[in-house]
């Protein structure tokens, strides 16, 4: 089989697979580039691996790239925020939810604070209360920072506006 024909056949199969999973195939002249349809708006439509009982939870990649879960371990890299939504037990794995991606979404992102946060403080996921955020701790360790607090936050459960960025590792010593 000629290389060009085998390439086109592979592209057609990949396009069919992507369409079946809610992804779109974008063409640029003769080159094929695979991009999720949602990426142009900075959001993805994903299935939940777990129930989430509050709105605007910070989430990580779940069982695969089309699912999300709550960050619960130090090595978990937050992916984005579950936009103004919750996930009930009967929706887990059955109803797609919109997740705004850190570093891609065009606006600041809402989240829920795990405690007081100063204005402009770097924020990380709070592992003690999965889905909530806290200020970068002063304790030694490696943390994943994904933005800064736009305003001061006084207490746990308060809304926080995040000026987000692509998640990055920060070592506090």
d(CA 117, CA 129): 15
> For the chain, what is the mean pLDDT?
85
Q: What is the pLDDT of residues 80-133, one digit of tens each?
A: 999 988 999 889 988 899 999 999 999 999 999 999 999 999 999 999 999 999
pLDDT, position 25: 46
Query: Mean pLDDT throughout 23-45?
Result: 57
pLDDT, position 14: 61
Most confident of 7-11, 13-17, 63-67, 118-122: 118-122
Are residues 25 and 46 both part of a single domain? no
pLDDT, position 42: 87
Are residues 27 and 44 both part of a single domain? no
Q: Which domain holds residue 164?
A: 40-172
Are residues 74 and 139 both part of a single domain? yes
d(CA 60, CA 58): 7
Are residues 64 and 147 both part of a single domain? yes
Identify which has the larger pLDDT, 49 or 3: 49
pLDDT, position 38: 44
**Closest of 111, 115, 82 to residue 99, by C-alpha:** 82
**Closest of 100, 125, 101 to residue 113, by C-alpha:** 125
Are residues 51 and 135 both part of a single domain? yes
Q: If DSSP states are collapsed to H, E and C, what string results for 53-66?
A: CCCCCEEEECCCCC
């Amino acid at each position: 089989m000629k290389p060009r024909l085998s390439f086109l056949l592979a592209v057609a199969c990949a396009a069919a697979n992507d369409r079946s999973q809610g992804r779109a195939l974008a063409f640029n002249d003769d080159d094929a580039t695979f991009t999720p349809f949602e990426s142009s708006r900075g959001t993805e439509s994903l299935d939940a691996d777990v129930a989430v009982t509050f709105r605007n939870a910070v989430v990580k990649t779940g069982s695969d790239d089309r699912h999300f879960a709550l960050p619960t371990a130090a090595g978990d890299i937050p992916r984005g925020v579950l936009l103004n939504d919750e996930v009930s037990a009967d929706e887990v794995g059955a109803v797609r939810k919109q997740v705004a991606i850190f570093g891609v979404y065009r606006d600041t992102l809402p989240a829920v604070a795990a405690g007081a946060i100063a204005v402009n403080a770097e924020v990380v996921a709070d592992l003690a209360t999965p889905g909530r955020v806290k200020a970068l701790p002063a304790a030694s360790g490696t943390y994943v920072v994904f933005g800064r607090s736009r305003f001061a936050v006084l207490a746990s459960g308060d809304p926080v506006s995040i000026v987000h960025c692509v998640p990055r590792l920060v070592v506090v010593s």
